[in-house]
Amino acid sequence: MRAVIYHNPRCSKSREALAILSAAPGVEVEIVEYLKNPPSRDELAQLYARAGMTAREGLRVAEDAAKPLKDADDDTILDAMVANPILIERPLVATDKGVRLGRPPEKVGEIL
């Protein structure tokens, strides 16, 4: 099985999710450091759709740059995430079984 993790190595939750993926038998992990190689708007929208979540639910609200998005719609939030990928909550993990936001990191086990 192949798993793609949209990863920030400075984030403890992202590192924990990566450790879970790396320890899972038979899982080939692809690491995308999304701050260096951000997903496209369409890719991000598809990831959220597969996860059954909205862009707002994927917004990293702890960031100062998220404050102006308080009342924004999902299209505006997606545009902001593409322009400033730090706004993407992490880690996002995708497999053939689905997509999960790894908060808590154990949630990635649902798609392994």
Catalytically annotated residues: 11
CB 107 within 8 A of CB 51: no
Q: Of the candidates 51, 23, 33, 34, which has an alpha carbon nearest to the alpha carbon of residue 111?
A: 51
Q: Which residues pair with 6 in a beta bridge?
A: 32, 92
Which token pair is 34?
A: 């999304």
